[in-house]
């Protein structure tokens, strides 16, 4: 795996999950993200960034609350949202963006 910059530069959509191990809402999203990966397969790459271990990246994208999800394509932010989402709503949003 390359650097964060190399990953988000891809013309393939990349969903970044900014999270922390101690965050209960983040844990709620884990099975939803797994199902989304199953559903969308190769259409979308999902990476997880632990904000405690990667404060520089979190600060760069002004992540104030977690979980925060940012969808990148060609280094551009295509969509961003914080908080818990239902799987149905999440898939609906992602399908409209990728």
CA–CA distance, 56 with 34 (Å, rounded to integer): 26
Give the containing element (helix H, strand E) for 6: helix 4-8
What positions carry a catalytic annotation? Answer: 23, 26
CA–CA distance, 73 with 34 (Å, rounded to integer): 20
Collapsing DSSP to helix, strand or coil, 79 comes out as strand
**Which backbone phi and psi does 73 adopt, to 5 degrees?**
-155, 125
């Amino acid at each position: 795996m390359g650097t964060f910059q190399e990953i988000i530069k891809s013309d393939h959509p990349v969903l970044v999950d900014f999270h922390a191990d101690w965050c209960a809402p983040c844990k709620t999203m884990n099975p939803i993200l797994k199902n989304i990966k199953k559903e969308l397969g190769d259409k979308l790459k999902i990476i997880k960034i632990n904000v405690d271990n990667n404060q520089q990246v979190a600060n760069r994208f002004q992540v104030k609350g977690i979980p925060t999800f940012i969808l990148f394509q060609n280094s551009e932010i295509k969509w961003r949202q914080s908080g818990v989402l239902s799987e149905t709503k999440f898939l609906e949003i992602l399908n409209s963006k990728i």
